[in-house]
């Protein structure tokens, strides 16, 4: 028997209007064509609508005025390589007693600044060491929190390395009320950005607050309408950064408009370049000018063989064999531009923590000026280069 996610659905489109008076007309046209409104998308003055078949969409389009537009509800994929995740061999003590169906979390108190050892230990992944994050931990302001939005598969908010920094979450998926991560991808991304544990792993910035949107299902698939709803939710919570470790080769005016609205609010947008290979162009949203596009490198400072490249690349970051938090209090090693992007998001969290709020353009400029160009990589492979965090604080 098929579950709700597997049942065949109608054809879904995003419909935008210019004024509230158009809502009634839209409802009338939808009724006549056999369509219906699934949910409202206030950020774009639009609605996700469902039609029984293609000719119903055509019928609706013919009966709607030009100021009511119908666009595709684009499909998205996560930028991680396929394959079964495996546990990193014995770097951290085992964690037990974590339910796969946890209850709604209670909001923890803000944690105190962790006490880090003078020398980097085994609880710090190679990518975090490569960008120099441990060298500036003592310079971070424990009284200045940075709000990081993550649009992904959710989060394991009971993970001992993440629970202190988790603040709020939402699921924008149909028939999926919980934002608990049932895939692992979002939990992995969060760990790189801001895991906070003396016994487990430490992320780039342990002083972040996570605001998490579950817009991708357990198969790693997402839709534009769910992403739009998530961005709206994050904008209302005034996050400083949004990490987007997903991509699509297609775009439309609605998608570009949403990215511009978030940028205009002062949110720094970070996205994975895509995993289609070095001969493939950068995917969206990374290709948008208001988004920081991140390619992936390995531990030898070489371009990952899966990373997309192009003139839109802003920075490169570690994205091969990245160890981070996983489901049920565990850890996993994964590869993909998905895991390069959070290195940049975490770096930006450090900048905001150290200097205070800055305009996205200022942050991009500072990083570009201080980035190190890697000799083995071209401009289209690395953008401005690799950002080593200590250089940003000098």
Distance, in Å, from the CA atom of 384 to the CA atom of 257, rounded to the nearest integer, reads 26
Q: Are 251 and 258 in contact (CB under 8 A)?
A: no
Omega before residue 77 within 30° of 0, cis: no
Q: Are 206 and 200 in contact (CB under 8 A)?
A: no
CB burial of 29-39 (b: ≥16 within 10 Å; e: otherwise) equals bbeebebeebe
Task: Assign 3-class secondary structure to 131-156.
Answer: CCHHHHHHHCCCCCCEEEEEEEECEC
Residue 185 is among the residues annotated as catalytic for this protein: yes
Residue 202 is among the residues annotated as catalytic for this protein: no
Select which of 156, 247, 338, 350 is catalytic. 338
Look at strands 166-171 and 268-272 and give their pairing.
unpaired
Backbone dihedral angles phi then psi of residue 181, each to the nearest 5 degrees: -75, 120
User: Taking each helix axis from N to C terminus, what angle separates 185-194 and 341-355, rounded to the nearest 10 degrees?
Assistant: 40
Residue 99 is among the residues annotated as catalytic for this protein: no
Q: Are 321 and 81 in contact (CB under 8 A)?
A: no
Select which of 125, 159, 171, 185 is catalytic. 185
In the three-class reduction of DSSP (H, G, I as helix; E, B as strand; rest coil), residue 109 is classed as: coil
CB burial of 263-277 (b: ≥16 within 10 Å; e: otherwise) equals beeebbbbbbbbbbe
**What would the two tokens of residue 69 be?**
């537009």
Q: Are 102 and 180 in contact (CB under 8 A)?
A: yes
Select which of 73, 152, 182, 283 is catalytic. 152
CA dihedral (372, 378, 383, 389) in degrees, to 10, reads -20
Residue 71: count other Cβ atoms within 10 Å of its Cβ: 16
Q: Are 340 and 295 in contact (CB under 8 A)?
A: yes
Q: Are 49 and 304 in contact (CB under 8 A)?
A: no
Q: CA triplet 21, 26, 27: central angle to 5 degrees? A: 105
Catalytic residues: 152, 185, 338
């Amino acid at each position: 028997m098929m579950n709700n996610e597997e049942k065949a659905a109608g054809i879904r489109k995003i419909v935008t209007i210019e004024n509230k008076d158009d809502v009634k007309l839209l409802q009338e046209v939808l009724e006549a064509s056999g369509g219906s409104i699934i949910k409202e998308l206030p950020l774009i003055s639009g609605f996700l609508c469902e039609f029984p078949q293609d000719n119903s969409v055509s019928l609706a389009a013919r009966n709607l005025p030009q100021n009511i537009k119908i666009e595709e509800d684009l499909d998205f994929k996560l930028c991680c390589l396929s394959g079964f995740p495996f546990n990193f061999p014995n770097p951290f003590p085992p964690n037990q007693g974590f339910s796969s169906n946890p209850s709604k979390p209670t909001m923890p108190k803000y944690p105190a600044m962790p006490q880090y050892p003078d020398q980097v230990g085994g609880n710090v992944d190679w990518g975090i060491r490569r960008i120099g994050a441990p060298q500036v931990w003592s310079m971070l302001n424990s009284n200045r929190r940075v709000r990081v939005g993550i649009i992904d598969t959710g989060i394991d908010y009971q993970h001992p390395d993440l629970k202190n920094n988790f603040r709020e979450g939402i699921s924008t998926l149909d028939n999926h009320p919980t934002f608990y991560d049932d895939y692992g991808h979002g939990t992995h991304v969060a760990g790189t950005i801001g895991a906070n544990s003396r016994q487990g792993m430490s992320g780039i910035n342990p002083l972040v607050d996570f605001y998490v949107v579950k817009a991708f299902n357990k198969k790693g698939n997402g839709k534009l309408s769910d992403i739009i709803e998530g961005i709206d939710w994050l904008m209302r919570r005034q996050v400083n950064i949004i990490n987007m470790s997903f991509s699509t080769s297609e775009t439309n005016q609605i998608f570009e408009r949403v990215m511009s609205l978030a940028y205009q609010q002062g949110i720094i947008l970070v996205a994975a370049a895509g995993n289609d290979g070095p001969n493939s162009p950068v995917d969206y949203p990374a290709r948008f000018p208001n988004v920081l596009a991140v390619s992936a490198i390995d531990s030898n400072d070489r371009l990952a063989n899966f990373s997309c490249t192009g003139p839109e690349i802003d920075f490169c970051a570690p994205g091969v064999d990245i160890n981070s938090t996983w489901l049920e209090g565990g850890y996993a090693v994964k590869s993909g531009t998905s895991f390069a992007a959070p290195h940049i998001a975490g770096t930006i969290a450090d900048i905001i923590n150290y200097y205070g709020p800055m305009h996205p353009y200022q942050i991009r400029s500072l990083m570009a000026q201080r980035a190190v160009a890697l000799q083995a990589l071209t401009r289209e492979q690395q953008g401005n280069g690799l950002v080593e965090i200590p250089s940003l604080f000098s």
